[in-house]
Amino acid sequence: MYFNDFQIVLQEVPGEVSLCLTISGCPHRCEGCHSPFLWKEGSGQQLTHEIFRGMLYKYYGFATCVVFMGGEWHQAELIENLRCAKDKGYKTCLYTGLEKVDKEILKHLTWIKTGQWITARGGLDSKSTNQKFIEVKTNKILNHLFIKK
């Protein structure tokens, strides 16, 4: 599994300071994708156990969540990283263009954002979006947290 970018983000999971890793090799190729450079498998840096654990250790006590932007196509590695994050006390989230992911991945997630990008429908901050931000434990859709009042 390779990641192209690592950032500390505040908007992807409302109420959480999140470590966000953008995973390369995306097979979905959504029309209008803002990051087509992520389609290339192996671009960026390999996410080794040492690098990932180093991130978790460095930001422990500051960040509360780990967000993977993609990576479900590397199921075993993703699950291993999600387990590691949870073991260190982090909440977990996956942003995917799929409508659903394997139950084995869901077991290790606090939240999941599903649905491909459709330009005309917008993202989670749009009332007409096809995307869903779901609390996995309750299966509750939390899109309202992204809508500006």
Domain ranges for the chain, please list them. 2-145
Q: Which residues are CB-neighbours of 56 under 8 A, at least 6 positions away?
A: 19, 66, 84, 85, 88, 90
Q: Tell me the per-residue pLDDT of 112-125, one tens digit each, with 9 for 90 and over.
A: 999 998 889 999 99
Rounded-to-integer distance, Cα 7 and Cα 50, Å? 18
Least confident range of 91-95, 101-105, 115-119: 115-119
C-alpha radius of gyration, the chain, whole number: 15
> Under 8 Å CB-to-CB from 99, ≥6 apart: which residues?
114, 115
Q: How far apart are CA 16 and CA 6, in angstroms?
A: 16
Predicted confidence (pLDDT) per residue in 75-90, tens digit: 999 999 999 999 999 9
Percentage of the chain beyond pLDDT 90 is: 83
On average, the pLDDT of the chain sits at: 93
Token output for 73: 């196509």
DSSP β-bridge partners for residue 23: 3
Q: What is the pLDDT of residue 40?
A: 74
Fold of 2-145: TIM Barrel (3.20.20)
The predicted model scores a pTM of: 0.94
Q: Among 7-16, 37-46, 82-91, 106-115, whose mean pLDDT is lowest?
A: 37-46
C-alpha distances in angstroms, 38 versus 4, 27, 70, 149?
Answer: 7, 9, 10, 33
pLDDT of 36:
63
Does residue 31 carry a pLDDT above 70? yes
Q: CA 89 to CA 67: how far, in whole Å?
A: 14
Distance CA 96, CA 68 (A): 9
